[in-house]
Structure 1
Amino acid sequence: LNVTNCTISANRAESGGGIENFETLNLNNSTISGNTASLHGGGGIDNTYGTVTVSNSTISGNTSVYGGGIHNYQATLTVINSAISGNSGTYGGGIGNWGLLTVTNSTLSNNSALTNGGGIDNSWGTAAVTNSTISGNSAMNGGGFYTYNGTSTVTNCTFASNSTIGIYLYNGTLNVRNSIIVKGAPGNYCCYGGHSSAFNNLADDNTCGSGFTETSTILLGAQGNYGGSLQMLPLLPGSAAIDTGDSATCSNAAVNNIDQRGLPRPAGHCDIGAYESQGFTLTKSGGDNQIAVINTPFASALQVTLSETGGAPLSGALITFTAPSSGASANPTNFAATSDAGGVASTPVTANSALGSYSVIAGASGATEAVFTLENVAGTATLSIGFSGNGSGTITSTNPDDPDISCIKGSSGGCTASYPLKTSVTLAASGDWKSLFGSWSGGIAGSDNPVTFKLNSDKTITATFNPDYKVRRLSGGALFASIQDAYASVPTGSITIQAQIKSFLEELLFNNISNVILSGGMDAGYNTTTGFSTVKKLTVGTGQTEISNFIVK
């Protein structure tokens, strides 16, 4: 039976709630979820005397007595690039194996068993687990992996947060190489029952015996997708697992010089566990090139983003920030922050009492440093904005944004702000619908918009706005910024008004002229009609109005 691109869910049977197999089953790119075996084994799949290959598939949320996800009895089961998660059983929450089991490049997470083997229960069977993540599983005995009178081989795997015990051996044979075991909650243990052989492994307690190095610096990130199709646990900067794997183990046929995601091993030197770090990239994402008055905070926090080189952001990593130990510097001179879910680490920083420029270096083990340039200055300067011209508009500061300038001609607020000396300020001018920005004068000169300058002293800057003449009264050729203004210029008699292509944000009221000819859509020289003009509303109270090439909306 070949099952491809299928979903089998919410079914119920005595054995094999989703599928019961006695022959050959190939399951690919499919989901087996929410099924129940009420009496025997295999909430998702029951494989008895048969051969099952599960590839690129998800087995989740299934329930049974033996093998909540998959029950393998005197049979052959191969799991490749698949997720087995959230299943539950009495024996073997994820997989209950009483036959021949091979698990490669897969994740078993958040499965539970009342007794043995939250992730895998290998009793009287043979199991080989390679390049796989076993995390967050729970059982009374062997939250991650339980072996009873069986033979188990674990190679380049990562066990983490399984409760109450990561790997449990009760009789049988257990061989562990190049693997990581991080215990679950306080009071849990990495191992119980020892092992038959172990080589070049890491654990964060001393319960696993020889062949395991106890260390507090395994440093795993949050479980997530890091370039592969399955969730796994990345190595963070400074992890004791980076570049300490056994090369011969990584190059053997089972591991085949790739990690769980299929990325190449080694990247530098082979790593321990299912994940091969590809290196780290630390980039500045905020707070660079700032100025602050001595003994005051900088306006923005220093912010960096940590990611795997060419890959996803990494959370939970410790990023250090180091400022000079003397002279102009930050206070304190050494501080640290932990990267969040987006890989971002940020920290506020305060100028010390010394004047001058300096660098703050952000670093993480194995990553290129990020260098911030800061400057401490003696005081502040005040920036004041004024207006001139017959037009109207708004002035805003886009950098820095705190404190900010937000000033409208004719308003009384927002036209003055104080900044640290030498602050680089960017001002932007925007005319209203009847106006155009003309130029700057006073503390700066020119017509650049936006304009950037350094505030080395108090400055008063004037912005000139001029009317945007897009309307012409035909008699006399007078120009206007508004159709209503042109209409009002001749209180009696007849008038012809021409308007260029533009959206005029006005509601027209014609109530004092006997005859109005209103032509829109004119070109800049008022010679040819090339399009339409737009007004919001037109009300004719008295007289006669002839209108052409206008859109009223």
Structure 2
Amino acid sequence: MALAWCVALAMGAPVRPANAASLVVNSLNDVFDSVCDAAHCSLRDAIHVANNTPADDTITFSASGTIAPVGSLPQIVAASTAGTLMIDGGGNITLSGQSAGRLLWVRVGANLTLQNLTITDASISADGAGVANFGTLTVRNATFSNNAAAAGGGIANFSGATLNIANSTFSSNRASNGGGALANYAGGVVSVDNSAFTGNTTDNNGGSLWNAGSLTVNNSAISANTASADGGGIANFGALTVNTVTFDRNQASSEGGALYNEGTASVSRSIVDANRATFGGGIYSGSAGGLALSRSAVVSNIALHSGGGIYNAGSSEALVGNSTFADNRANVAGGGIANAAGTLTVVNATLSGNSADVSGGGLSNSGSATLQNTIIANSAAGKDCASGGPTSSLAAFHTLIKSTGPNACNLTNSNGNRVGVDPDLGNLTGAPAYFPLNTSSPAIDAGDNISCAAPPINNQSQNGIARPTDGNGDGLAVCDIGAAEAPASPRIFLPVVRRSLVARLHHHVHTVLRAQRD
């Protein structure tokens, strides 16, 4: 055995400990001698040993501070050969690329977990400066900052790869072609939970995230990101699911301040606030897109042209349910929503306090629009609703519009509609924000129960009260108009008069009348 050991060393063959499990890095210097022991172990040594060990490995650090590798670290090899690898920085390690290249490469079949560390200052003219992932990558409690690449300044997730991110921060990353923080290619799968994307930028689409594969974002914040083209927060060309996410202060020079969608996008229980773009200050859904927005608030977004809250373009289909649009502004049309040649369905939404300098402060429609159980009111400019164009159509059912005539899309008091009526809304409250209905609101118990029971409402409301309730106390539970459902009101009963009392009163009246006749 000793002879074999010597021969292996002489031939330069890697040393393969049989059951290596825990490797401790005790040096911050990027020195490579292919050995990781108590005398000396760099991160480069530890990855090399892990790559040549068939068991699963964990790399931890007894030293704390910054490691600045000279060039990329060893590529993480397939788990079938080397097992899985976890690199745990313990909250005390920063990996700095010194603007001199990519830091990590995860090969096809490899499985890497990065946690409790910071990856910063990586820079490459290709994709994925922090990490290029072709395998399975898990990122937990990590920070990616100030990385720069062609696409995916922090991470590029390639076709066939899987990326899971939790409790992490991506800030001030940059990409020239798209995805300042993260780029996910077609065939890639990404999930993000409880994370923040702040101050990332791109010269193209997707200031923070660019997606052509499958992307799910939950319980996260996407803030103050910038795109020189489309999608200040996210540019989506694949399948996107967003749940309980705040988009705020993102900007796009062209379309979609918070979100640019040319794929399928489902956004629920989210806040789209104070974003800006030329078209679709909050959200832009393009000709190839399909958008579903539910139980969300679209507030204080600005479009330099049209669609302060949402711009629905071309052949895009947009479905809005149980959502509130407030204080959005467009310099031309559609302060709340602009539907331009697309198909728009709005069910149980409230559009109030929006404005447009030319037309449609609440809604501007030049496509095909259907309104059900919806409130449009209190538009600061551009009136409430404008619809027109050679191929436009608008149908409304159980919809309340405060304006009248052309300023109310020429709707009349038919199909359960209430035109020229003040909805009597309370102040904006909650998160996501909604307008509660005051007790005297004519929107209470004025909706359609069939629409409320069907998707996307499913007898739910934005404020969490199950529909329908008996909001006016008449004994009948009827769905309210708008995003919010009023709480049930105690039923009003007339006093019960006992039969004996009625009989005595009847006898008394009969006696008096008979006496008068006599």
Which residue is 1:168 aligned to? 364
Partner of 1:107: 297
- Do the aligned residues in 2 keep the contact of 1:237 with 1:280 (CA within 8 Å)? no
Pick from 207, 213, 223 the counterpart of residue 17 of structure 1: 207
Given that 2:400 and 2:421 are in contact with CA atoms closer than 8 Å, whether structure 1 keeps it comes out as no
Map 1:292-331 → 2, pairs under 5 A: none
Q: CA deviation at 1:183?
A: 3.0
Contact 2:387 2:394 in 1 (8 A): no
Q: How far, CA to CA, are the matches of 2:479 and 2:329 in structure 1?
A: 30
Percent identity among equivalent residues? 37
| AA of the residue aligned to 2:400 | L
Mapped partners of 1:173, 1:166: distance in 2: 16
1:153 aligned partner: 345
Displacement after TM superposition at 1:280 (Å): 6.4
Greater shift in the superposed pair: 188-197 or 215-224: 188-197
Do the aligned residues in 2 keep the contact of 1:237 with 1:367 (CA within 8 Å)? no
2:271 counterpart of 1:70: no
Please, which of 324, 328, 353 is the counterpart of residue 133 of structure 1? 324
| Alpha-carbon distance change, 367 to 59 in structure 1, aligned in 2, over 3 angstroms | farther
Determine the C-alpha separation between the residues in 1 that align with 2:306 and 2:210. Answer: 23
**In 2, Cα distance between equivalents of 1:119 and 1:76:** 18
Amino acid at match of 1:70: L
The residue that corresponds to 1:224 in the other structure is 429
Higher-Rg member (1/2): 1
Q: Decide which of 19, 24, 27 is 2:217's aligned counterpart.
A: 27
Q: 1:510 is matched with which residue?
A: none
Rounded to whole Å, the distance in 2 between the matches of 1:249 and 1:101 is 19
Q: Distance in 1 between matches of 2:464 and 2:438?
A: 19
State the secondary structure of the residue aligned to 1:59: strand
d(CA) in 1 for partners of 2:295 and 2:319? 12
Q: Is the 8 A contact 2:320 2:346 kept in 1?
A: yes
Residue 217 of structure 1: how far off its partner (Å): 3.0
Moved over 6 A (4+): none
Q: Which of 244, 250, 256 is the matching residue for 2:458? A: 256
Q: CA RMSD in A?
A: 1.7
| Distance in 1 (alpha carbons) for counterparts of 2:419 and 2:291 | 29
Deviation at 1:208, TM superposition (A): 2.4
What's the secondary structure of 2:451's corresponding residue?
Answer: helix
Shift of 1:230: 1.4
Structural mapping, 1:404-415, within 5 Å: none
> Displacement of 1:253 after TM fit?
2.4
CA contact (8 A) 1:44 1:69 kept: yes
1:64-108 deviations in whole A, cap 9, x for unaligned? 0210000002x1010011111110000000000011000011110
* AA at the equivalent of 1:272: I
Equivalent of 2:397, from 191, 195, 199? Answer: 199
- The structure carrying a bigger strand percent of its residues is 1
The alpha carbon displacement at 1:279 in A equals: 4.2
2:448: which partner in 1? 246
Does the 8 A contact of 1:257 with 1:266 survive in 2?
yes
Given that 2:309 and 2:329 are in contact with CA atoms closer than 8 Å, whether structure 1 keeps it comes out as: yes
Which residue type is aligned with residue 35 of structure 1?
N
- Counterpart residue type for residue 3 of structure 1: V
Find out whether 1:55 has 2:247 as its counterpart: no
Task: Indicate the residue corresponding to 1:95 in structure 2.
Answer: 283
Which letter does structure 2 place at the counterpart of 1:213? R
Residue 183 of structure 1, aligned match among 378, 383, 386: 378
Please give the TM-score of this superposition, normalised by the length of structure 1.
Answer: 0.48
The answer to whether the 8 Å contact 1:266/1:276 transfers is: yes
| Residues 256 and 284, structure 2, Cα contact 8 Å, conserved in 1 | yes
User: TM-score, length-normalised on structure 2?
Assistant: 0.52
Cα distance, 1:367 vs structure 2: 10
1:122 — aligned with what? 312
Q: CA deviation at 1:215?
A: 3.5
Which letter maps to 1:203? I
CA distance in 2, matches of 1:262, 1:35: 31
Deviations 1:398-454 (A, max 9, x none): xxxxxxxxxxxxxxxxxxxxxxxxxxxxxxxxxxxxxxxxxxxxxxxxxxxxxxxxx
**Distance (whole Å) between structure 2 residues aligned to residue 257 and residue 157 of structure 1:** 14
- Tell me the distance in 2 between the aligned counterparts of 1:159 and 1:149: 20
Distance across 2 between alignment mates of 1:220 and 1:367 = 23
Q: Deviations over 1:439-483 (max 9, x none)?
A: xxxxxxxxxxxxxxxxxxxxxxxxxxxxxxxxxxxxxxxxxxxxx
Equivalent pair of 2:465/2:486 in contact (CA under 8 Å): no
Q: CA deviation at 1:37?
A: 0.1
SS in 1 for 2:247: strand
- Give me the whole-angstrom Cα distance separating, in 1, the residues matched to 2:489 and 2:453: 23
Aligned equivalents of 1:123 and 1:188: distance in 2? Answer: 20
- Write the mapping of 1:265-276 to structure 2, written as runs, cut at 5 A: 265-268=467-470, 269-276=478-485
Pick from 226, 237, 244 the counterpart of residue 36 of structure 1: 226
Q: Structure 1 residue 261: deviation in Å?
A: 2.6
Shift of 1:22: 1.1
Deviations 1:284-334 (A, max 9, x none): xxxxxxxxxxxxxxxxxxxxxxxxxxxxxxxxxxxxxxxxxxxxxxxxxxx
Between the two proteins, the alignment pairs up a number of residues equal to: 276
